[in-house]
């Protein structure tokens, strides 16, 4: 089996677990978002890239609300072709491709991101991201990574493979947050 097939198989296994699992999503998501808020405050992050969650991803909508109330600068992906650009988070949100919700497009130029919060399905032995298979984050990071301070991968549970199933362009993170645990990537 080649790397692409291994990655596809891993992705399929994780998605099956995420969709079938009888877990208390609310409780896990609350633990994760509380830990994330502490990390944001501790490191004094102000410009934050995050995501608008799908059902299989950690629900960070409560965190978004709290960050907005405290006047953090929040940015989310806005899909363009095979990648995305960042737009300021604002309401109302509109459902688009792949069932992803987005705010309206804007022409605001985002200069720097202190923290990028990136949802993952899992990671491989190199601590590289295995996502949904569209490559959007990889393409975005290829152009914008020099403007991103720290990257945090987030998931309810950590799905990990001891094999190297990612490609050279797959992104890595400084932190991995799941359930109530933060791991710091060691170089």
pLDDT at 126 over 70: yes
Residue 185's pLDDT band (cuts 50, 70, 90)? low
How far from 187 is each of 81, 116, 126, 147, 173, CA to CA, in Å?
A: 33, 19, 10, 20, 11
pTM (two decimals): 0.90
How far from 33 is each of 43, 46, 90, 165, 171, CA to CA, in Å?
A: 15, 16, 20, 29, 22
pLDDT at 186 over 60: no
What domains does the chain contain, in order, with CATH numbers?
3-184 (3.40.50.10420)
Averaged pLDDT for residues 170-178: 91
- 76 and 50 Cβ atoms separated by less than 8 Å: yes
- 90 and 65 Cβ atoms separated by less than 8 Å: no
At 79-113, the pLDDT tens digits run: 777 778 888 988 888 887 667 787 788 877 888 99
Burial 70-92 (b: 16+ CB within 10 A, else e): eebbbbbbbbeeebbbbbebeee
Closest-CA residue to 174 (of 43, 65, 55): 43
């Amino acid at each position: 089996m080649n790397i692409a097939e291994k990655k596809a198989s891993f992705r399929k296994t994780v998605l099956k677990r995420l969709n079938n699992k009888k877990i208390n999503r609310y409780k896990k998501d609350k633990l994760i978002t509380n830990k994330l808020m502490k990390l944001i405050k501790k490191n004094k992050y102000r410009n934050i890239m995050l995501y608008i969650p799908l059902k299989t991803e950690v629900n960070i909508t409560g965190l978004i609300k709290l960050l907005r109330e405290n006047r953090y600068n929040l940015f989310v992906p806005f899909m363009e072709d095979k990648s995305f650009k960042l737009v300021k988070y604002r309401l109302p949100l509109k459902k688009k491709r792949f069932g992803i919700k987005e705010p309206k497009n804007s022409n605001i130029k985002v200069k720097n991101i202190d923290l990028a919060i990136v949802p993952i399905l899992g990671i491989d032995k190199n601590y590289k991201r295995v996502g949904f298979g569209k490559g959007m984050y990889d393409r975005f990071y290829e152009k914008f990574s020099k403007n991103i301070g720290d990257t945090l991968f987030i998931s309810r549970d950590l799905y990990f493979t001891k094999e190297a199933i990612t490609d050279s362009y797959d992104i890595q993170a400084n932190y991995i947050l799941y359930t109530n645990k933060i791991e710091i990537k060691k170089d």
